[in-house]
Structure 1
């Protein structure tokens, strides 16, 4: 059963070494992420599942505890592992969104429960996302999710996807649903529109919606902004 969830953005810029001189611009987001992880820790989960979008070249599916990732592609010699495990890291590498999640957990000194991962196909249907979420919630008596993903990348003229006037309303609805722990609202986010607006978080959020069905969780929206023309949200459900 799902007992708590933290929703965090997934840009590598959250890692200060990657952001370099721009690091202070996301200090508020990092603080909010730390607060959201505090909610996860307080829920005393038996397992934490880091759910995030599979990137280009990544294979969607489960990611074993201890899988390693890095930010070398950004010129930074920073490595992470998904949770703590003995022995060598399993084969494979963490998708970038899950690597950011692993970095957040490491930064928080996470030792509360075992950590595993799931890379979600960004084209997965809402129905399949919900089914996946229900499967995750059934993994243990007390399950927590760290859900990684961004809103629209079309929030400004300098955004990766340029400015699209539909982006802000889409993100506002997503933020409202995250604030209210509104599973139906998340499940109803338009898949086609999300794809056009380059919303990397749509599928992971809808996995969360499926996992939280009937759990009776309440939500807090801890951060909502678009500092680089991309919607970033931090929320905590418990």
Structure 2
């Protein structure tokens, strides 16, 4: 049973050590993420599941390690307390681990990497599996909007990017499950919107939960759509 959800962007630049001198530019996004995580904590879940886009899907137990060494920073994180062997967290889950180290309480946590190209119907299956038991589940859903909002954006300027992000922001801010499920997979791929698959997993996980949404942040500071929302 899903009792709350937080949606956050996943750029490594959220980590001040990675952003270095540009860190203040995302202070508002960090504050919004902390507020969204506060909503999760207030729901008193039995378990927290963190979703994040990756090149391949996979499950990561509590205490799995992540690192930002690939971004030139000598900084390691763990997904919750402990020390679990195995492969490192993908970047999106490492960013989530960094957020959780600063704001989360002692609730069991696990990570699920979502293949960024996962078809919508398989996203629905995964979402139903995650919340199919009797535990009170909270979700932290990592993912970015389009990467094509400006000429200097990673995906260059695409006139379709702003409308795509606007619809995603509306759907996330109102917990519109049908609208999230209907996001265009092909368009999201062309716009490099990494959040599409995790958002669609969230939509399926929230079926029947009766959650309301609040949009906390909606900006594109580097030509990439960064959205923060809380569902409770």
Q: TM-score scaled by structure 2?
A: 0.98
Report the number of matched residues: 232
Q: Where in structure 2 are the equivalents of 1:213-232 lying within 5 Å? A: 213-232=207-226
The worse-fitting range, judged by mean Cα deviation, of 23-32 and 76-85 is 76-85
1:94 and 2:78 aligned: no
Q: Aligned-pair distance for 1:24?
A: 0.3
1:70-116 superposed Cα distances (whole Å, 9 cap, x missing partner): 1011111111001113xx422110000000000000011x2241110
Q: What residue in structure 1 maps to residue 130 of structure 2?
A: 136
Q: What residue in structure 1 maps to residue 139 of structure 2?
A: 145
1:201 and 2:198 aligned: no
1:41 and 2:37 aligned: no
Q: What residue in structure 2 maps to residue 12 of structure 1?
A: 12
Q: What residue in structure 2 maps to residue 74 of structure 1?
A: 71
8 Å Cα contact 2:47-2:135 kept in structure 1: no
Which one of 146, 154, 162 corresponds to residue 156 of structure 2? 162
1:93-149 superposed Cα distances (whole Å, 9 cap, x missing partner): 0000000000000011x2241110000011111111011111111244200000000
8 Å Cα contact 1:44-1:112 kept in structure 2: no
8 Å Cα contact 1:65-1:115 kept in structure 2: yes
Q: What residue in structure 2 maps to residue 2 of structure 1?
A: 2
1:170-213 superposed Cα distances (whole Å, 9 cap, x missing partner): 00000000010001010000000000110000000000000001
The worse-fitting range, judged by mean Cα deviation, of 204-213 and 135-144 is 135-144
Question: 2: distance between equivalents of 1:83 and 1:48?
Answer: 10
Q: What residue in structure 1 maps to residue 28 of structure 2?
A: 28
Q: CA RMSD in A?
A: 0.9
8 Å Cα contact 1:13-1:19 kept in structure 2: yes
Q: TM-score scaled by structure 1?
A: 0.96
Question: 2: distance between equivalents of 1:106 and 1:185?
Answer: 32
Q: What residue in structure 2 maps to residue 83 of structure 1?
A: 80
Which blocks of at least 5 consecutive residues in structure 1 are unaligned? Answer: none
